[in-house]
A and B are shown apart, each in its own frame.
Chain A
Amino acid sequence: MDGTAYRGSFRDLVDDRVDEGVFRVDRSIYTDEAVFEAEIERIFEGGWVFLCHEGQVENPGDYFATEIGRQPVFVMRQKDGSLGCFINACSHRGALLTPFRQGNARALTCRFHGWAYDLGGRCIRIKNEESGFSDPDFSRERFNLRRIGALGSYKGFVFGSLTDDVPPLEDHLGAAARWIDLLADQARDGLEVVPGSSTYMIRGNWKLQAENSVDGYHVTTVHRVFASTISHRETRDATSGMRQTESGRIKGNVPTGAYDLGNGHMSIWALHTTPHVRPIYESKDWLEENLDPVAADWILNRGRNLYLFPNVMLMDNPSTQIRLMKPLSPGLAEVTVYCIAPKGESTAARAARLRKFEDFYLTAGMATSDDIAALESVQDGSFGRLSRWNDMTRGLPDLVVGPDQDARNLGFEPAGCCPDWDHEGLFHGFYRAWVDRMEDGNAAG
């Protein structure tokens, strides 16, 4: 990519002088084509990314087609129950092998010239092989599909890397694993992805979506209207039970916090004022009997957003969500959202979870649409480069390096803690990981 190679140092784009009270990022990181090309190569195609949930590839032959960076791949459940992930292109002339985003197949047959592959990516059929490959030493093996470099699953969440030059998945997730536990462990019989999804385009940089998903500071401005709308509804309808929406966090009057989880992962939490209206509350007794009491308390009483570097967000706030992000250009990202829910929850809890999801999330919802408008506005403002920097120093005097008491109690080792989700110290970890990955090429992380 010589034509668009970035000519400066990526380190210069993040002004990291916390000791002097400075942390700011150059606005060109949201708009620069060469920066974006390097991100695709070094971050998205150079390390671990989220692929799918195991529930989306439950049975042998189930496939899930996605992309790692720009490269099409599919995850395939094998006959022995393990997972495989392959480049989604026929070894012959490159046509995609999956007709749908998700499906089931006994073998994948290319619809262009009829070559076929088994679940393990072995080329098992070449149309008119004898008349085209008459060499007696010919073996179809040379046309087996290319496996990606690394594939792993943590509590049902599947991650992959094009390169094998990556640390073990557990090391990549690090402190964030405990936050995945809080979502996965709340389901006695495991989580499932609910049918139906929505894909929307964000006319903004992927890093703005990452920031927004764990930015507690915007909630009392951008989502003030959500809180007032819901409050109006609940007064009008005298709503009760799970049909109510938990809006204490939006009004800004509850304890909150934010974490730099290391390796670019980030999280925020806020205490629920009305935890009994949450669908998970029906499992309260089971959670308290079977889980570590601190974890049970977090699950029941704290709304949480988790961002896993670089491409997925796991939300457990008004509802439960997997938000998968694909960067397409500096100013465009594609986002697909799924509702994820405990298998076997009651019909009333499932319906309540879905209504809360539709109320808040989605570009057709009454809050996510406002988030998108806000971050698209940052994208446009980022062209105002005569004023070069975005500031991220809010809460700096209160930033805790290493774990705070909450983290020790739950058992995870964050790189930094903010005692208020209005603070911005969590972004320092994100941008430090970004600089490291951009400077090191396809190094670990």
Chain B
Amino acid sequence: MSADGIDAGLEREVAALINREAMLLDRRRWDEWIDLYTEDAVYWVPAWASEEETTTDPDTQLNLIYLRNRGGLEDRVFRIESRDSYASVPLDRTVHLIGNILVESVEADRIEASANCIVHIYGKKGAATRGGLYDFEFRRADGALRIARKKITFIDDRLEGPIDIYHL
């Protein structure tokens, strides 16, 4: 047990999963990346509603990305792999650096965690470095921890170049 009462083994397992996701994205191992998510996983990148607040309700407010299930992730990968997307050929290079991983709550098989991410991007028009706050919900299925929900508060605006799943 760690000081906050969360099992240290679970903390390591959560950190490994978050780090693994970043590695799979940076190394373009798309199919393994998708397998980290549950079938009904929600993938959500809110838009900014003002300088200080993001949108909070996907049914009534605009988002940068709101995918209702794992199929939405598959769509993104399908488009990238088609090699027919102007914005994705050549593909931007990315490096994710994850930090501040914290398990926030544990309830039976439902685990919530937060993390920070810095993504360095190099593309046709040069380099950019962007930041995001991750809020995860994990579920254990058949013994393995899977991502059931990922919300990315993407702090940048006035965005240059495309924003796709590997930039986030």
Contact = CB atoms under 8 A, between A and B. Distances in A.
Interface string B135-168: 0000000000000000000000111111110000
A13 interface: no
Contacts, number: 129
Contacts of B54: 196
Most B-side CB within 10 Å, residue of A195, A232, A355: A195
Interface SS, A side: helix
A147 interface: no
B64 A364 contact: yes
A194 B75 contact: no
A232 B163 contact: no
A372 B124 CA distance: 13
A222 B63 contact: no
Interface residues of B, number: 40
A153 B29 CA distance: 52
A232 B75 CA distance: 8
Interface string A206-241: 000000000000000010111011101100110000
A203 B86 contact: no
A198 B157 contact: yes
A358 interface: yes
Contacts of A196: 46-49, 54-55, 61-63
Interface stretch (A83-91, A285-293, A373-381): A373-381
Given A203-B125, A377-B86, A197 B48 contact: yes
Interface in B40-87: 45-51, 54-55, 58-66, 68, 71, 74-76, 78-79, 82, 84-87
B89 to A, nearest CB: 9
B62 A339 contact: yes
Given A354-B66, A372-B87, A197 B162 contact: no
Interface SS, B side: loop
Contacts of A197: 47-49, 62
A140 B8 CA distance: 67
B62 A369 contact: no
Interface in A18-67: none
Interface string B83-117: 01111000000000000000000000000000000
Given A229-B75, A229-B79, A195 B61 contact: yes
B59 A200 contact: no
Contact of A233 (B50, B71, B157): B71
B78 A229 contact: yes
A334 B62 CA distance: 19
Interface in A120-174: none
25 contacts: A101-B51, A194-B61, A195-B49, A195-B62, A198-B159, A201-B159, A225-B82, A229-B79, A237-B71, A338-B62, A339-B62, A351-B59, A354-B59, A354-B63, A358-B63, A362-B64, A363-B161, A363-B162, A364-B64, A364-B65, A364-B163, A366-B85, A370-B87, A374-B86, A376-B124
Interface of A: 100-102, 194-201, 203, 222, 224-226, 228-230, 232-233, 236-237, 334, 338-339, 347, 350-351, 354-355, 357-358, 362-364, 366, 369-374, 376-377
Given A196-B49, A197-B48, A230-B75, 14 more contacts: A100-B50, A102-B50, A194-B62, A197-B62, A199-B157, A199-B158, A201-B158, A233-B75, A334-B158, A358-B65, A363-B161, A363-B163, A366-B79, A373-B87
